[in-house]
Chains A and B, each alone.
Chain A
Amino acid sequence: MVFATALQLAGDPTPIDTLITSPILLLFFKFFLVALMIIYVIFSIVVIRQIAIMRQTLITTFSPVIRIAGYIHLLFAVLVLLLFIVIL
């Protein structure tokens, strides 16, 4: 720990920083985030289905707005997934 502190004071990267920013760990982190986003996109699709069931059960004048909100949410989720794949 003393050695790590000395390195930090000298401005050199500590071993832990080197480990965290290593390409292998970052790749693993990228796959983890992309997997999470894929699950979230599936969740967004389920929300669309849920909204459809709800709209069939209770029919109101506000239902089309909710349907659009659901699709915007799904679109946002897909865009974020693509963003994760591209920039990470």
Chain B
Amino acid sequence: MPEIFDGSQLDDEQETQSTVPSKEEVLDSVKKKRADRPVKKKRSVNEYSEVICNLPESTASLSSFAAKPKRVSFSTQAKDEEIILLLRKHPITQVKWIVIALLLTILPVFLPFVPFLNFLPANYEFAILIGWYLIVLGYSLESFLSWYYNVYIITDERVIDVDFLSLIYHDISSAKIDNIEDVTAATGGAIRALFNFGTVQIQTAAEKNEFEFEEVPQPAQVTKLLNELVLEEEREKIEGRVS
């Protein structure tokens, strides 16, 4: 048999000079190329958002318009996701339950003038009075919890709507900024115009196709911020920036 067909005659030098790289070598070279490639980092929100760069970081715990809130996070937040804006209903919308609670608190003062419970012994009247104030306390606590924890969150990646509708039912919806198709701010009425609050409607291509940020402060600023975020997401896609 001619020597070229005889594999047993190959020496060690020829075996190590194989022209086909191994799988591991190929993977190593790809990894090295990726590591050497300069990574385009995501821009900070202050660099592209006129709305946010004009606002200081919020430290107030009870704020209804908190830009870049400090020491605030939520359960589904990703590791590198940053909260840009935390919104709640405008405080003026809570006046109703506050006034009701105050009226209920002072109502027993007028009861002696109304012979309502005079037929009961004194200890029963006292017990009912204590129970009354307990119920007013419970009502106030529930109303406050409803306002404080029903929030709208805008991060650099998503918009999130947290709704606690009752004692046992809550709903958390989110949509990526990429999927936002249309943002509209609506402010109607004298009170809303006076206190600058309104509803921001967001149309998305997500499963939940409409988000409503109801009665939030500065709806025009919120709309502007969302538009800036949408533009930035489009720039990221075009420039191929890593997110």
Contacts and interface: CB of A to CB of B under 8 A. Distances in A.
Contacts of A17: 119
A31 interface: no
Contact of B149 (A20, A29, A57, A70): A57
Interface in B109-154: 119-121, 123-124, 126-128, 130-131, 134-135, 137-138, 141-142, 145, 148-149, 151
The B interface, classified by DSSP as helix, strand, loop or mixed, is mixed
Query: Chain A interface mostly helix, strand, loop or mixed?
Result: helix
Interface in A35-57: 36-37, 40, 43-44, 46-47, 50-51, 53-54, 56-57
Contacts of B128: 33
Interface in B64-89: 69-75
B40 to A, nearest CB: 31
A25 to B, nearest CB: 10
A61 B61 contact: yes
A56 to B, nearest CB: 6
A88 B149 contact: no
A76 B73 CA distance: 31
Of A43, A60, A76, A88, the most chain B CB neighbours within 10 A belong to A60
Contact of B137 (A29, A73, A88): A73
Name the interface size band of chain B: 35 or more
A28 to B, nearest CB: 12
B123 A47 contact: no
A2 interface: no
Interface in B34-81: 61-62, 69-75
B36 to A, nearest CB: 39
A47 B126 contact: no
Contacts of B92: none
Contacts of A54: 145, 149, 164, 170
A40 B69 CA distance: 36
Contact of B72 (A36, A58, A66): A58
B195 to A, nearest CB: 23
Nearest to B166: A50
B119 to A, nearest CB: 5
A50 B124 contact: no
A46 B130 contact: no
Residue among A17, A40, A47, A58 with max Cβ neighbours from chain B (10 Å): A58
B162 interface: yes
Interface of A: 17, 20-21, 26, 29, 33, 36-37, 40, 43-44, 46-47, 50-51, 53-54, 56-62, 66, 69-70, 73, 76-77, 80, 83-84, 87-88
Give 5 nearest A-B pairs by CB, closest first: A62-B61, A54-B149, A20-B119, A59-B73, A87-B123
29 contacts: A26-B121, A33-B131, A36-B131, A40-B131, A43-B138, A46-B167, A46-B168, A47-B138, A47-B141, A47-B167, A54-B164, A56-B75, A57-B75, A57-B162, A57-B172, A58-B74, A58-B75, A58-B151, A59-B72, A59-B75, A60-B69, A60-B71, A62-B62, A70-B141, A73-B138, A76-B137, A77-B134, A83-B130, A87-B123
